[in-house]
Structure 1
């Protein structure tokens, strides 16, 4: 009754939502409302699955328009002066890509990798380092809600309309922390028609996935969507004699409501919840035991102990899908609520989104990948790291954007966010007999004392931003784009760092040692017990952008852009009481986007250069006992290169595609960088990294694929091969050959059978069919110079999947 009475007064409902937009807004620099449902399902891609959905063979062989919100307006991809890779939700479903890590490995110039402390997000060779205190240089947004913590990427791909990977600084439209790029994710929204989708998958390694969603019209103006997913696997790495990892099970759920009281007003409410449990989550594989020349096998090293434990026989020290590590785990829980309101008022649209995000990430990692216990205390793991990350964020954005088209269009807005981080870390030193060091032993400890350390960081951040953009059309075919954002970020922090004892590094067993013992240990290990010298800091910056677009011909556009980016400073989460300053970038890009051959051929290409100053890095210093993690601002980095993507619809049944990138990402001025492992044993304290390549920055990367659709027995048979590759790249900020991934090529193949309209499909999905084993991350093994611990990526995987939709 209430809804129907509101509908009698169109202006009343419209202005009610305008008021709601003012008091209920968006997250950290978001996007406009989602594109129409058919735009997401017909969108082609130049990336992970290069072909469109199965089509009737009578369809014309011309490219479908891809709709994006890269500038927070609904626009054709070919009209946006930004380098964007786009993957539709339908394509993610068809190829069983359920994580951002799985997606990124198939894209050029994008790397997302899980790590012991953080997950690494890199675009064009730029990302944040291995420190939980860092915000990410590659920002993640889901329906405009900013997810600042790297662990949040673990639950990003569920019931998705579309994923846009924006390359290069995106600070005008996406905020201060999108200094290297942005992941712009749009979920499926309820519509005013009944619809459903469901799929079930089972594959090798015990992998399973079951998910589905239903959209129900409740009234003429209100609709709802409910979606759920249950997933898991036994694991693809053999751990010890009878376990596997990562052994995962999880569930996600979502409730979405859409109210459209009239044609000019929309209100979207979304509530997400997720839970994931992973055993043997970091099954590090051992590489190099005994270590290669010029390293020598030291009798007291963990590698030598492993060989002795193995009866003197050779140990498994190859990257082969087998780990001898003791058990680890990762737990992840999150809740997110987003309320988006938009209303047409005053010749434009007023939009606001209020968002709340909470997550809890628990991780336990053993830094020493050996099956035996420490000789220090019976039953004590080698060197464990246990962390708890609690994060809460409340955010609000309000913006007004004029109608599109005409000689002048603009957008203005403001953004505010409050974030609270609690990061608790317990580190145990099972293979280091610190209690026997004379200065420490004098305080009452022994070699059998299970020394551990706790570093607890509590941080509150307040972000305020104002932004504006304008597009001017002085003459036909020319657009001048101007933009700017001012951001002010205030952080206050509290630090608690102590030394104590803990069995297996478990927080519940931790007991603080006497102060005199703590002081002695801090001097031996190289750690700070006190507070940060400056427990509060404020960083602010104005970030302008400018560009020009020129229509060279019908469906052919060239652009040139400049943008300035900025990311605020912060605080170290590890053992030293250090803060670090902001980083900034000046970025330039030239691009060409065109559709040719009667819209059968789509070409997008760009040349870019980004000059970074004071890039935030995690480095190492060497004390008399152990290496200690330090955060600092590297002086300079340059990222430049060329990207090109081509999609060619050869005929109504055959589509070819390729996406290739050349990248030159190097430090331009970094004289106090950490040493390589080999240089460290020779007495190196720091190295000059100027001119050396950045981590996760392969010189060449890309993919090439095809889709062949044939009529078979009254249905459609779709065959989609994909080859993706990367040249060699480093996996740490040291240019260390031991910590690098060699070049590789991998092959996927999806074969699907079903009606041309996609109402149902039975598919066989093969990934990495040549079983090329690679590692997503490498680090040195503590206490065993020259030996490496590696996180293995999945080898060959085959699954069968059945999908239904209207």
Structure 2
């Protein structure tokens, strides 16, 4: 049965490639003249290559665009890349690619591997890093295990920082955004220090008041403060040797979140405890405080040595971060779970050594060894407040449930990718990565009811009703995996290439941080260990280039097995297990076309069909608002087999039109218009109808004036100019169903930034 969709997708790919090939071969070249596009260089295969030469579905976003449109984080960037979704939940951050995410659990690895200057950034908290002084961002869709590690089961994102220059340059840029009182300053100095040594120093500071009014705390939210410092030295004593040392530190703190409560249903608003909860979506919110303070430090030593015609590369890195968060996890002004605090400390050391052969001749390869060790410590303290007094949970008031989680990991792998040019036009690439990983994990939960009215016995009994039981558990696991790659590429001519690939991917298993009970418990059993995920992917694509433009197309089909999912336990907790199988298939198109001198059109479009093939233990939407098929195996859960997942719009796309012209004989005026489109989707993993986000189109624009010597530039930047209200995640408010006996419910939602308009001035020394 599973072969039918695959054959259909491959047939669509062949038809699409033939159609594009015919169109481009007969029409577009006739339009060619002296206008020519600049080549885009990427390192998706650990070599510098033209984007059109890489047989992967890939998007490359230049550092210039990131700066031009005031893109400050990965979340801001995701709207410009089809089939890339970055979301924030109440407690975690997630990257999704083609609809595949990691769930809201700090024990999960990310499904999309993120690399910064070839260093693996695998934790969700690191998604929030500021984007400053980048050369480019490359987004590789589909499993990428061979060169990016086994956790790149859905794709990979590679960020490349700008390097020291051979000539002295310095700049100072300052930005002010009018709607949300955002201030950002970036200072850069770069150039040679000696004949053999060059350096680059980047300093950035950003503050923002926010766009939501917290009526409880009388402040604007999310209130942001970010400081980023990066220093890079490049030493080149000979033509054969290049040594790069990079040190960076960043602090990014946020007070409040882009969150509002919404959509009260049933008797929710008439229940006395909830009568004063603000559920109107009007850019005003209530709660007792959300704080997130983060510091990340990174030290990287990269050595490249030309060994004859071969290149030997070593990358050594130390990465660590500390996060402290205060979360009002009832997400209201009520004193229910007020003052909950979480923390995460993480350290990672990694070493990669690889060798790249010359590319001349009929055979070349890249091969290497990788080692990584990491330590993670997490704590989560849940406080029970006065709003529970007088009710069924009154014995919990003034109590605290404290959870600690530790995980140590050691992974080593060997990888190789071989390319055989069978003929001048036909190439075969085969590769694979073998990985071996050891993990140790432990979780301890302690319930302290010493300050409650009923004392410890009453507190324990109340929390047992909620499925929160004191326990301690630990375990070890070892897993090994081989992920292969086969790619066949055919160059029809110098400007047209087609390819077909087969890839297997995997994502590591681990230990559940969030569960509130032991797996062996007689009632409300929890979980601890979960297994790895597996993916099998097929892709066929084509890349067409001509003097004034280029078009790329990819059609894919991927099967996922043993998806790691987070299940609601029916009270206040969540459990993890490998409980789902899914297939995804779709089409991705992107291209550039030089319409006229200095007038460039860039566009992309994606179609995504996501289907759970087997998901019999999904968390249901509240029974009050939806009727969903019940699970055949676990009472209280639902069967989502045949449904599509949350945050998987069927269509998404982006378009940018840019133009520049001279102003008299002294300056240059440039314009850019940007459009991001998304089809409708569910913003909740429960597929709740009250979490549905309708289709939307967001517009951005930029106009800039600079003198001919580029000594200065003044730019006006606008994003989300039509002020679209975009919901990215939505979940029922904690206890809203419990305290209404399932006769009422309301939700909290997380929203993207509304309209914002900024003025930026840059001076180049």
Judged with a 3 Å threshold, the aligned counterparts in structure 2 of structure 1 residues 224 and 686 are, in CA distance, closer, same or farther, namely same
Match of 2:14 in 1: none
- Asked if the contact 2:415/2:433 (under 8 Å) is kept, the reply is yes
Q: What does residue range 50-129 of structure 1 map to in structure 2 within 5 Å?
A: 60-129=34-103
- Asked if the contact 1:654/1:709 (under 8 Å) is kept, the reply is yes
Deviation at 1:105?
1.8
Cα deviation 1:631-686 (Å, max 9, x = unaligned): 11123011110010121101112112211101012211111111112369989711
| Residue 696 (structure 2) pairs with residue 696 (structure 1) | no
Give 1:240's match in structure 2, choosing from 205, 210, 215.
Answer: 215
Q: What does residue range 226-265 of structure 1 map to in structure 2 within 5 Å?
A: 226-240=201-215, 242-265=218-241
Give 2:139's match in structure 1, choosing from 165, 168, 179.
Answer: 165
CA–CA distance in 2 between the matches of 1:475 and 1:261?
40
Deviation at 1:710?
2.0
Give 1:324's match in structure 2, choosing from 286, 291, 315.
Answer: 286
CA–CA distance in 2 between the matches of 1:547 and 1:283?
43
CA–CA distance in 1 between the matches of 2:754 and 2:390?
43
CA–CA distance in 1 between the matches of 2:517 and 2:610?
29
Give 1:525's match in structure 2, choosing from 459, 463, 466.
Answer: 466
CA–CA distance in 1 between the matches of 2:152 and 2:501?
16
Deviation at 1:752?
1.0
CA–CA distance in 2 between the matches of 1:156 and 1:402?
35
CA–CA distance in 2 between the matches of 1:499 and 1:757?
67
Deviation at 1:499?
1.1
- TM, length-normalised to structure 1: 0.84
Deviation at 1:783?
2.6
Cα deviation 1:298-354 (Å, max 9, x = unaligned): 754643353xxxxxxxxx533332212222111110100010001011531111111
CA–CA distance in 2 between the matches of 1:148 and 1:425?
21
Give 2:719's match in structure 1, choosing from 753, 757, 767.
Answer: 767
Judged with a 3 Å threshold, the aligned counterparts in structure 2 of structure 1 residues 450 and 217 are, in CA distance, closer, same or farther, namely same
Give 1:748's match in structure 2, choosing from 690, 693, 700.
Answer: 700
Deviation at 1:453?
1.2
Match of 1:147 in 2: 121
Give 2:542's match in structure 1, choosing from 587, 592, 596.
Answer: 592
Judged with a 3 Å threshold, the aligned counterparts in structure 2 of structure 1 residues 70 and 781 are, in CA distance, closer, same or farther, namely same
Deviation at 1:756?
5.6
Judged with a 3 Å threshold, the aligned counterparts in structure 2 of structure 1 residues 256 and 239 are, in CA distance, closer, same or farther, namely same
- Asked if the contact 1:61/1:650 (under 8 Å) is kept, the reply is no
- Asked if the contact 1:368/1:782 (under 8 Å) is kept, the reply is yes
Match of 1:195 in 2: 169
Judged with a 3 Å threshold, the aligned counterparts in structure 2 of structure 1 residues 98 and 681 are, in CA distance, closer, same or farther, namely closer
Match of 2:517 in 1: 576
CA–CA distance in 1 between the matches of 2:55 and 2:395?
63
CA–CA distance in 2 between the matches of 1:759 and 1:645?
34
- Asked if the contact 2:397/2:453 (under 8 Å) is kept, the reply is no
CA–CA distance in 2 between the matches of 1:750 and 1:605?
29
Judged with a 3 Å threshold, the aligned counterparts in structure 2 of structure 1 residues 448 and 167 are, in CA distance, closer, same or farther, namely closer
Match of 1:548 in 2: 488
Judged with a 3 Å threshold, the aligned counterparts in structure 2 of structure 1 residues 513 and 613 are, in CA distance, closer, same or farther, namely farther
Give 1:789's match in structure 2, choosing from 739, 745, 748.
Answer: 748
Q: What does residue range 609-688 of structure 1 map to in structure 2 within 5 Å?
A: 609-622=557-570, 626-678=571-623, 685-688=636-639
CA–CA distance in 2 between the matches of 1:557 and 1:757?
40
Deviation at 1:90?
1.6
Match of 1:489 in 2: 437
| Residue 364 (structure 2) pairs with residue 409 (structure 1) | yes
Match of 1:779 in 2: 731
Structure of greater relative contact order (alpha carbons < 8 Å, 6+ residues apart): 1
Give 2:321's match in structure 1, choosing from 349, 352, 359.
Answer: 359
CA–CA distance in 2 between the matches of 1:247 and 1:657?
34
Cα deviation 1:483-520 (Å, max 9, x = unaligned): 10011111101221011259xxxxxxx99997755653
Match of 1:296 in 2: 267
- Asked if the contact 2:626/2:689 (under 8 Å) is kept, the reply is no
CA–CA distance in 1 between the matches of 2:708 and 2:541?
36
Deviation at 1:254?
0.8
Judged with a 3 Å threshold, the aligned counterparts in structure 2 of structure 1 residues 354 and 651 are, in CA distance, closer, same or farther, namely same
Judged with a 3 Å threshold, the aligned counterparts in structure 2 of structure 1 residues 758 and 607 are, in CA distance, closer, same or farther, namely farther
- Asked if the contact 1:276/1:331 (under 8 Å) is kept, the reply is yes
CA–CA distance in 2 between the matches of 1:579 and 1:517?
30
- Asked if the contact 1:239/1:283 (under 8 Å) is kept, the reply is no
Which has the higher mean CA deviation after the structures are superposed, 76-85 or 753-762? 753-762
CA–CA distance in 1 between the matches of 2:424 and 2:729?
50
CA–CA distance in 1 between the matches of 2:176 and 2:302?
36
Judged with a 3 Å threshold, the aligned counterparts in structure 2 of structure 1 residues 582 and 432 are, in CA distance, closer, same or farther, namely farther
Judged with a 3 Å threshold, the aligned counterparts in structure 2 of structure 1 residues 774 and 501 are, in CA distance, closer, same or farther, namely farther
- TM, length-normalised to structure 2: 0.89
RMSD of aligned C-alpha atoms? 2.3
Give 1:721's match in structure 2, choosing from 673, 680, 692.
Answer: 673
Give 2:254's match in structure 1, choosing from 275, 278, 298.
Answer: 278
